Structure formats: structure tokens, C-alpha cells
Amino acid sequence: MTVFSLETSCDETSAAVVRDGRILANVVASQVPLHAEYGGVVPELATREHLRNLPAVAALALRQAQVGVGDVDAVAATRGPGLPQALMIGLKAAQAMAYVTGTPFVGVHHHEAHLYSAWITGSPPRGEFGVFEPVVALIVSGGHTLLAHVESEFRHRVLGGTLDDAAGECFDKIAKLLGLPYPGGPAMERLAADGKAGTFDFPRPMLGEENDDFSFSGLKTAVRYFLDRHPQLREDRQQVAHVCASVQAAIIEVLVTKTVRAATRSGVWCVTASGGVACNGTFRRELERACAAKGLRLRLAEPRFCTDNAAMVGIVAERKLKHGCPGTSPDADICPGWSLEDCGMEEAPRPAENASREEGARWMETGRI
């Protein structure tokens, strides 16, 4: 089966071709330089950029895969969560392609795509699912930090999630306070390499709580007050490096401890981690160490599949079709506030039942749901 997939949920325009689990092409046009000027993603600019780039990105993916439109058996796109207008670009383009080619369409949940990206491995890369074993999955993207218990392929239960700021958001906001460029995570990781993690003792929010929820806004606020008390610190590169290393250590300790605890409690023998923050080298090493100490196997998404890409969307769509999923209606709408609980092998709920007023307000404020 050959699947053509698109991803336009935030600030990456991506198209991929997946055939029988193999990724034949995965083209990603990043908008980072565009949004860096504003210190974060500007939804209107992101939408226009998707519109501008999508035709070329799609054509390049097909060319690299040496696949013609007529060879495509199914078309997929990210349906939610994400920036509403941005989602619309990829979803409607994919549905139009499915319609004219008479092929099935699959609308994919963005976090489900991140979740299963942990099974993409090898060179050339492919989705290696084998005999599926239950896992606890940590998804750490820009707008979400969540833990899910995946009992079998496409059967998952959300154990806990972000109560306010997600880990990626926390990196981005603290980087902004320090005057570092967007996106904050990679910028802070680079500086942290020159700093000492124990220099400043920042809080580890919700670390001691016996639940699987996350909240990083307290950490951000603590750093803001700390910087207010030390206004000269931003001028001293070494001190900034110490802050980056200390913040990074706080975020990682919370992520790693809560993930391993959830896995142990759930009785699984394997942990996965994926999403943009999982690119972080220190996080990867710490999670590896903690899993090894508890005898847990670890599937870490490869860094190139941690950040947003269409290959993970295509992999999920193909697996679902192979498992007998009927696909998504070719005129289905976007689901900007779609919960990971509500996806799986069934059709997504209609957006009106799903997107809440709070999610809308949050998007208006932060550009993220």
C-alpha cells in the first residue's frame, strides 16, 4: 500500500510517501526563521506559509519517492490538534487529492502520530511494529506533555497531561525571558552544554504528586522572579548557561521520574518517548539511564522524527487502514481540540462536540491548543 501524507498543524509544512511501512520520502519545510522574528508562531503567517509551500513540498515528496499520483492508494493528513487555519490547509488539500484519485482518506490525530513515531527506525527508515508490546508513552511536543498507556496498537488510555504550560512551551517561554531565539528548546540545550545544572535550584513542579499530570508554569514563574531579582544576569553568558542547564535539569527530572513511575505502576516493560522535546540529548540520556535502572526497554523516536513531519502521519494512516479502519469522511472537518482519548480506530467526534471554550481561549492566547 502506498500512502501520501501531509502535516500542517503548526509551523512545519511536510509531505511524505510511505509504502508498506517504508518511508520513501519525508520532506519538511520549516517556518522557524519566519516566526523567530516574532518570538513564537504567528498563526496567520503560518497559514499563509503553508499555502505557499505545500504544492512544492508535496511535489518534491512524490518526486523523491518516484511515485506518481496514480500510484497512491490512500491519502492522509493531520486533522488535529493544532492551529485551526493551518490544519485546514493540509486537511483540505489531502481530501481533495483523495477525492480526485478515488482513494480513501485518513484524518490522523497529531499526538497519535507523535506516539507511533517511536516505532520508526532504521536506514532507510520504516515503521517496525513486530509483535506489539504494551507501552507507556511520553509525548512531549510544543503544546502538550502527556502520558498514555498503550495496551495494544491503537488502544490507548491517557494517564495524564498538561494542566498549564507543557514542557516545550516552558523551554520556549523561559528562552524568551532570557532573550534567546525561538524555538527555545534547542537554543537552551546548546547553552546548557556550557553550564552547570546544579547552579540554581529551580522547582520541579508536581514531581512529588502521585498522578501523571504535568504543570510547568510554576517553573516559568520561578525563573521570571529569579531574573527580576538578578537583572544583570542576562548580560553574562556563563550565568545564562547555568540558568539553561538548571532549567533543563528541572524539566527533565520531572519528565523522566513521572514517566518511569507511570510505567512501573502500569506494569508495562517498555517506555516510548517522542515529540519535539525528545530531541534533547540530555533528556534522551537521562531517560535511557532511568529506564535501564528499572529494567524497562526504551523506544526513543529518532530526532528527525521527533519534530513535526508527515512520515509519522503516513505510518499511522497505513497501519490503521491495514487494521481495517474505514478511513475518515472526505468532507470531515478539522478537529483543533481533538483529545487523544477519542481517537483510535474509530471516527473522530464532530468538532462542535469536542473543542471546548477553554481550548479556544487558550489558542487565542498562545497559538497552541
Which residues sit at the interface with ligand KG4, rule CB under 6 A? Answer: 10, 141-143, 168, 171-172, 183-186, 189, 275-277, 279-280, 307-308
Choice between 183 and 195, CB closer to ligand KG4: 183
Residue that the C-alpha cell 481533495 belongs to: 96
Binding track, positions 316-345, relative to Zn ion; x by CB under 5 A:
------------------------------
Task: Tell the smallest beta-carbon distance from residue 20 to Zn ion (Å).
Answer: 25
Do the Cβ atoms of 142 and 216 come closer than 8 Å? no
Q: Residues 45, 50, 53, CA angle at the centre, nearest 5°?
A: 120
Does position 141 interact with Zn ion (CB under 5 A)? The reply is: yes
Question: CA angle, 320 as apex, 319 and 321 as ends, to 5°?
Answer: 95
Nine cell digits for residue 278: 525528545
Nearer to ligand KG4, 125 or 143 (CB): 143
- Cα separation, 14 vs 12, in Å, equals 6
Give the Cα separation of 167 and 274 in Å (integer): 12
Q: Which is nearer to ligand KG4, 183 or 327 (CB)?
A: 183
**Site stretch for Zn ion (CB under 5 A), options 84-92, 135-143, 156-164, 334-342:** 135-143
Residue type at 97? M
Of 35-43, 129-137, 149-157, 300-308: span binding Zn ion (CB under 5 A): 300-308
With CB under 5 to 8 Å by kind, the binding choice for 171 among ligand KG4, Zn ion, none is ligand KG4
Beta-carbon contacts of 178 under 8 Å, excluding residues fewer than 6 positions away, are: 188, 227, 234, 240, 243, 244
318 binds, among ligand KG4, Zn ion, none (CB under 5 to 8 A by kind): none
C-alpha distances in Å from residue 166, one per residue of 108, 188, 192, 343 = 22, 16, 19, 21
For residue 277, the minimal CB distance to ligand KG4 (Å) is 4
Identify the sign of the CA torsion 107, 110, 113, 117.
positive
The contacts of residue 234 (CB under 8 Å, 6+ apart) are 178, 179, 227, 240
Nearer to ligand KG4, 170 or 321 (CB): 170
Residue 345 CB-half CA count within 13 A: 12
Contact 338, 348 (CB under 8 A): yes
Judged by CB, which is closer to Zn ion: 245, or 278?
278
Q: How far is the CB of 299 from Zn ion (least distance, A)?
A: 17
CB nearer ligand KG4, residue 277 or residue 348: 277
Q: Residue 7: which of Zn ion, ligand KG4, none does it interact with, CB under 5 to 8 A by kind?
A: none
With CB under 5 A as the contact rule, the residue among 308, 320, 337, 348 that binds Zn ion is 308
Q: How far is the CB of 75 from ligand KG4 (least distance, A)?
A: 21
Which residues are at the interface with Zn ion (CB under 5 A)? 141, 308
